[in-house]
Amino acid sequence: MRIAITGATGNVGTALLRRLAGEPDIEVIGIARRRPAPEAGPPYDRVRWHAADLGDPACLHPLAEELAGADAVVHLAWQVQPSHHRAQLRRANLNGSRHVVNAMLAAGVPKLVYASSVGTYAPGPTDARVDENWPVTGIGRSGYSADKAAVEAMLTAAERDYPVLRVTRLRTALVLQHDAGAEITRYFLGRFAPASLLRPGRLPVVPRHPVVPRHRRLRVQVVHADDAAEAYLRAVRGDRSGAFNIAAEPVLDGTVVAAELGGWAAPLPLALLRLLNRAAWRSRLVPADERWLEMGAAVPLMDCSRADRELGWRPRRNAREALRDLVAGIAAGAGTGGPPLRPGRETPDRRAA
């Protein structure tokens, strides 16, 4: 079996390459904007690499040639930074996804497994789980959510217009792992974040939203990257199409996170968190804007029973274990030899912060 993976050097891509290393019958083509260096080592060393800027229309012809003879494409490539440059993100994510589909059609590749997200969903109830039939119109002003919803709409049109194309959409929760520690710090916390405080017992206060019945509050579902990789493998090998929710239990909120970090869950209104986040983002102290908070407070909780029933998928690590693994990775500045996950040097500014 021959599969191509876009974004193969990223968080989920690296975990999927690790998982595929144990599948001797699968040949992998890795597609990334920046190839790993020859000395990057496992899991990048058993992959045939193709460098492509998917947002550039010039990628279409060479990409279609590279995909010729492939059985499936796993489309993971997605940019979340730089958040101050919305047009650049739309070029990479919307145009890039369209170019991948067009290259697949030109090459005759029959199957696409697409990395969708819980962020694709419209706002949901606070007291119930939603299945894959919940509307996929996105969340308010969140650019990430709007773009994920737009790609899903594009894929629905492609399936209608090209019946030979089968699309499986994995709507994953936040994907966590130790090796993504440096990347997540870089993309969401910023270079001034005192990451060493994330060691258990070092962070005294964790914000939580005041609990008000039927009120929006900050809580999130997560899944470990190794479990997400297993879901992708099952989707590639299986014959199921459509959407699948992918998340582990329990749901994480400020109280649960505080317990894991040995701190105190301090009630803090979402409006105040949003104000602080907006000020820090506009000052370029943090790279992620307040729309991530808004999305986190509005997205529904997912029912993952279809993945269990039709893919035979169940997470091996619970949400607390996934969180612990990530937190340890952030504190250690962990990463890999792949360009997106490569650890950065600690700067004097960060040490001072």
Q: Yes or no: say if 148 and 94 are a contact pair by the CB < 8 Å rule.
A: no
- Please state the pTM of the whole predicted model: 0.90
Going residue by residue through the chain, which has 353 residues, state the pLDDT in tens, using 9 for 90 and above: 999 999 999 999 999 999 999 999 999 999 999 999 999 999 999 999 999 999 999 999 999 999 999 999 999 999 988 878 889 999 999 999 999 999 999 999 999 999 999 999 999 987 799 999 999 999 988 999 999 999 999 999 999 999 999 999 999 999 999 999 998 888 777 666 665 556 555 555 555 555 443 334 678 999 999 999 999 999 999 999 999 999 999 999 877 777 777 666 666 667 777 778 778 778 777 777 777 788 888 899 999 999 999 999 999 999 999 999 999 998 888 999 999 999 975 444 444 33
Predicted local distance difference test score (pLDDT) of residue 120 = 97
Q: So what CATH class is 2-173+224-246?
A: alpha beta
Query: Cis bond leading into 57, ω under 30°?
Result: no
Predicted local distance difference test score (pLDDT) of residue 93 = 96
- Domain boundary assignment for the chain: 2-173+224-246, 175-220+251-299+316-343
